[in-house]
Structure 1
Amino acid sequence: MPSHRSEFHVPPDPSGRYAEAAYFAGNSLGLQPRVIRERLHSELDDWARLGVEGHTEGTRPWVSYHELLREPAARLVGALPREVVVMNSLTVNLHLMMISFYRPTAERHAIVIEDSAFPSDSYAVRSQAAFHGYDPDEAVIRLRPRDGEAALRTEDIAEFLGTHGDRVALVLLGAVNYYSGEFLDIPAVTAAGRAAGAVVGWDLAHAAGNVPLRLHDWDVDWAAWCSYKYLNSGPGSLAGAFVHERHLADRSLPKLAGWWSTDPATRFRMDPVVTPVDSADSWQLSNPPILSMAAVLASLEMFDAVGLDALRDRSIRLTGYLETLLDQLCAGREVELLTPRDPQRRGAQLSVRIGGLRASEVSQWLRAEHGVFADARNPDVIRLAPAPMYNTFHDCWRAATALASVMDDHG
């Protein structure tokens, strides 16, 4: 698969060495697809031309706009169309899912997360435990890698759940860990969690658009993801949620409700009581923000056109090339790879620990002196994400060469 770099706006190189930067921060914010500007203008034109009638007469009528995203979003995460919905932001969706699927009891109320979970996930699960009357310090169990290792082992997660699973109400892990880049074995962990009697949910913030997913086939209970990282839908753009079909008709599940939770066939009768639908749409609350949704739709269409299998193949080759270059060019320097070296156990990300320098300063030097955008996690970790949609092998060479140079010039 060739690079689709020409379809994106790439920031200029601040160092002046090249016309464009080598952008490795797509695991924080993806680049802007060129098509999004036209899509936004289309909706703005409909708003200017039609006003409120854009809900039914627009180029893409707003009242049913979210339905356009259902099938491409399902293909992206390996789900049935009725199992997915694009809505809200990631943490809001995590909370909406936990309202339904975190059902604690005195004997079974623990929530299992990884110790290196993104802070918002940690805040969310702790607040849910406290909301239900439990001490978060006791209810939230944080799984740590073995001493001297940076990534969790699947067998260790399964062993914990096999031994202590009778305490666990919910397993909520990041499918691709934001810090280390580790891609967890979703089907194996899901099977272990469900065998222990727990509900298993996944945060796909760093997995959606990055690695192939088969949520339905893997029997995942629920999942949520954002769209502004590898999915390139813009800062703070809309998120998504998945609920396995076995839960869709379960009327016993508690849910918050709003106007978009009810059956669209009867929505405008303005009934005082929700008419439920047996799809993930029933977890929606409000009508969607069309301008944000237009960007998500454009992005999903790009992923449909390219295909995630082709992207994954290119991702493995790019990340492997970057790994080889770092090993070669940074040899003898205080640079340690934290991400698993097995290509099947990582996404499009390499996290490196640097010795003797602060990560935020290294990131600034990389950008200002070499035109390489990287993410810093203080005190000492630099994350490099070779996103296959727009990164090139030359970008990888630039990143490894720049890191070696910075370590020499400032170390």
Structure 2
Amino acid sequence: MNTQVQTTQVQAASIDASRERGLLRFITAGSVDDGKSTLIGRLLFDSKGIFADQLNAISKAKHKRTVGDTIDLSLLTDGLEAEREQGITIDVAYRYFATPKRKFIIADTPGHEQYTRNMVTGASTADAVIILIDVSKVKLGDDGSVELLTQTKRHSTIAHLLQIEHVIVAVNKMDLVNYDQTVYDRIVAAYQSFATQLGLKDVHPIPLSALAGDNVVSASEKLSWYQGPTLIELLESLSVYDESHDEAFRFPVQLVARHNGHEANDFRGYMGRVEAGKISVGDTIVVQPSGQTATIKDIQTLDGSQQTAVVGQSVTILLNEYVDISRGDMLASANRPATVLKQVSADICWLSEEALDSRRKYWLKHTTRQVAARVASIDTLLDINTQERRTTDTLKLNDIARVNINVQQALAADAYDATRSTGAFILIDEVTHQTVAAGMIRLD
């Protein structure tokens, strides 16, 4: 076998293996003061994921909220002074740690409704979400009814829309109810009912106390009635196999590379990252949205030419034919092309404090392409609590709705359910340049 081909196959195999057993990206979500930052702090502390100087710094912090010499572990992620003063998370804080079995990237996202847009940002690349439920805030009726918080339902809805594969329901602060199994069972039953209504499939409930450390890294005798894994064991066991390498080839062009003008050969390469599928020298591709076809001449990286490129790799592609290609175009499988759209149907989460104005023009940013767009109509607005859809003529902060958007130039896109990277977009205010909405394309 050719050494170069053999090396490429080994690289591709290692990439697939890392997706299956290696890095797990997860976020924490929940209402204000549900214990998200404390939970992450406990994970880092108990798994020896913090340095001595960090521990020393937070033990002397002036905004600590614990009594006596107890360390306020939430300060490990609440890094902004405003967060420590108010006792809430505002920004998305990313932390990294590892166990002998796996590496992790955690995104601690805000719980306050005002910062839902930050939660959407953190969730967009997550493999799993930990939705914390504070047992002291859940209303348990004498008639057996259970009323979950609106933010719990909102974050679960966003997790479903963003196609996050695994949902861990962490029923936190069990120490406040004396580790009562009956309370836990009632809350879990209520959430399971909502999850079924929502369409969530892979739901893992777990009782714990982030502050006391019960069931986070070590099992607790106080929760002996719970026979499942601890939180860290559950995180280590989740599969994060990415099927995007089995999908149709998608390569949004970021840059057209030319030689410096002093060379005789006319080098023209198309630079970018493989967002889905794989490609090999000799394969036929289609340039979208123009529809021109071409064949792969060479695939170049910093380490030289290679025969194959797989999802996640940044490469420069050379073609045998001279075709008109610029930034924002999509190279796709000739036999499985993307859908070319002039009108986009999508679910969007409105992220701006300024309401949607259908008369205004926005910029739609999809992969490497940015086009002028207008929201032509709002089909339905989603009610977070009941999951029912109703009509509306505008959108305000945190609203989730199905809309139709007219774009000035055609987009080559996929349904978000099929390929996240080519099915997602954002809307940008053309005046302030602020991101006003995040969208998931629907082709049904």
TM category, shorter: under 0.3
Q: Which has the larger radius of gyration?
A: 2
Q: TM-score, normalised by structure 1?
A: 0.22
Ranked by relative contact order (alpha carbons within 8 Å, sequence separation 6 or more), the top structure is 1
Q: TM-score, normalised by structure 2?
A: 0.21
Return the structure number with greater helix share: 1
Whichever structure has more strand as a proportion of its residues is: 2
